Amino acid sequence: MMILKPLVIYYTKTGTTAKIAEIILPTIKAESRRLIEPNDWRDMFQHKRYSQQDDDVKVPFTTLEGFNPIILLTPVWEGRPTLAMMDFLEKIDLKGKQVILGLVGANETNPEAVEKLRRRAEERGCSFIETIYLRGVITGPDWIDLAEEDFIREAAKLVEAVFAVSEYTK
C-alpha cells in the first residue's frame, strides 16, 4: 500500500497564511498549492509570491491523487470564508480524503464561516477531521502583525493534527 503525502492548499492575501504554511511544510513533509483569486482578481493588485516551495494553482486541478490528508488553510474575513477557497471547494473531488481545515484569523465566534467551509468540503466527499483556529494579524488602524514565535505556535497546532492522521510524516 502506498503511503500518501500530505498536501497543503491555501489562500493568502497579506502573507500570514502563507507564512504558517511555509513553517509546517518541512515538518509534515508536505507539498503545497497556493490558490489565486477566482477570475484572477490578483491582476488588479500587485501580486507577491510568498513561498518558493509552492505552486500557484493557475489552472484548476481536479485530482488530489497521491495526497492525504488535505490541509486547507484560509483566512476568514468579517466572519466569511474567502471566495478563493469556496471556489476551489466547489470544483474539487475530495472523495475518500481526510481534511483538516485551518482558519486563519478565525475563532469560535465565526460559526457561519466554519459551517460553510465544512459543509462544502463534506459535500465534496471528504472525511472531515477537524477545524483548527489560527490567530492571524489584527487588522484595522492598529494593525498588529505576528512575531516569529506566534507563527510557530500557530503552525504547531496544524502539525499536531496532521501527525495524528498521516502515516507519511512518521
- Distance in Å from the first CA to the final CA of the chain: 15
pTM of the model: 0.81
Identify the pLDDT of residue 62: 65
Average pLDDT, the chain: 79
Q: Are strands 80-81 and 67-77 parallel, antiparallel or unpaired?
A: antiparallel
pLDDT of 24-57, one tens digit each? 999 999 999 999 876 654 443 333 344 444 455 5
Q: Which domains does the chain have, with CATH numbers?
A: 5-165 (3.40.50.360)
The upper half-sphere exposure of residue 131, i.e. CA atoms within 13 Å in the direction of its Cβ, equals 22
- How far apart, in whole angstroms, are the C-alpha atoms of residue 98 and residue 67? 10
- Could you tell me the three cell numbers for 163? 501527525
pLDDT of 106-131, one tens digit each? 566 677 888 899 999 999 999 988 88
- How far apart, in whole angstroms, are the C-alpha atoms of residue 62 and residue 147? 36
